[in-house]
Amino acid sequence: MEPWNLTGVSEFILLGFSKEPELQTLIFVIFLSMYLITVFGNLLIILATVYDSHLHTPMYFFLSNLSFADICFTTTTVPKMLVNIQTQSKVITYAGCITQMYFFLFFSGLDIYLLTVMAYDRFVAICHPLHYMVIMNPRLCGLLLLVTWIISVLHSLLQSLMVLRLSFCTDVEIPHFFCELNQMVQLACCDTFLNNVVMYFAAVLLAAGPLAAILFSYSKIISSIRGISSAQGKQAAFSTCVSHLSIVSLFFCTSLGVYLSSAVTHRSHSSAKASVMYAVVTPMLNPFIYSLRNKDIKGALKRFLGMAVIKGTVVTGLKSCL
């Protein structure tokens, strides 16, 4: 029997990773741990860049914004999944699903554009070091950040409006742990040709475009580094790019891997498990990559944590005296 059209669908069901009850506690603990690590790790990066004057540079300005985007990116999906596991309910309202999809697209896009801007920042720093602070002035940094926000808003708004025009059937089960755009389009019982065109066109323009810009920036950076005569100079120049290059590789490789695997296997549950890599694991690893590979961040974190410990000791001492 054909599923009948239900334009007034009020809720969807997020199937998650597993239907086995004994695995739910393990999944809850793992994702709660990863979420807390993501929030506190990225929050430390933000606080360190705000409070340490040594990090008041364009590179760390964009890094703090990337950390903020990563916190929000993870918050759009993981808390809802944890609540569903805790309440043993897989239901998400229609409005909640559209909202989650909008913010997931927004912050994932913001991540991509910030990584692109950071690649441009490294290009200017290495290829034009004498003019770095003149080119990357506060006005340009603010303008670049504003452009990334505007593009992210417009893209996520367009995709959300395209989904709002769809009608859905009796089958409202989403084989994912969040309302993923592609899965939503596949559930529709009306013609989705226009949605697919917009979705793939946006993927090419807004994902392949930034990736091409990043690759072009690094081709210029590598060419410039090769022109440095001393080995120590080459190492110093390249060390400023290692953390960013690691994050770019991790984000784009995992994202590409997810969509290639879903295209080859056509298994939605496999795609859901693979998407954890870029939706949860990558934002969690970003603070570790920058803090372990970057001496400035490590120094700033030590000073910030040391200052926090001293303040805590002073407050405790005053309370005991009173």
For the chain, state the CA radius of gyration.
Answer: 22
pLDDT of res. 260:
64
**Can you read off the two tokens belonging to residue 290?**
């920058």
Alpha-carbon distances, residue 113 vs 29, 65, 89 (angstroms):
32, 11, 35
The tens-digit pLDDT sequence of the chain (322 residues) is 344 434 568 899 998 887 787 888 999 999 999 999 999 999 999 998 988 888 899 999 999 999 999 999 999 999 999 999 999 889 999 999 999 999 999 999 999 999 999 999 999 999 999 999 999 999 999 999 999 999 999 999 999 999 999 988 877 889 889 999 988 998 888 889 999 999 888 888 888 899 999 999 999 999 999 888 888 878 877 887 888 888 898 888 877 776 666 555 555 566 777 788 888 999 999 888 887 767 777 777 778 777 665 655 555 555 565 5
Q: What is the pLDDT of residue 251?
A: 85
pTM, two decimals, is 0.89
Q: What is the pLDDT of residue 67?
A: 95
CA dihedral 107, 109, 111, 114 (to 10 degrees): -120
Residue linked to tokens 């805590």: 312
Give the pLDDT confidence score for residue 146 in this predicted structure.
Answer: 97
What distance in Å separates the CA atoms of residue 146 and residue 169, rounded to the nearest whole number? 39
* Residues 67, 130 contacting (CB under 8 angstroms): no
> Which CATH entry fits the domain spanning 11-295: 1.20.1070.10, 3.40.50.450, 1.10.600.10, 3.50.50.60?
1.20.1070.10
- Got the DSSP string for 85-97? HHHT--EEEHHHH
| pLDDT value, residue 1 | 38
Give the pLDDT score at 237: 79
For position 316, what pLDDT does the model report? Answer: 59
Position 263 scores a pLDDT of: 56
The pLDDT of residue 243 is 85
What 8-state DSSP symbol labels residue 281?
I
Phi/psi region, residue 153 (left: phi>0; alpha: psi -120 to 50; beta: rest), is: alpha
pLDDT of residue 198: 92
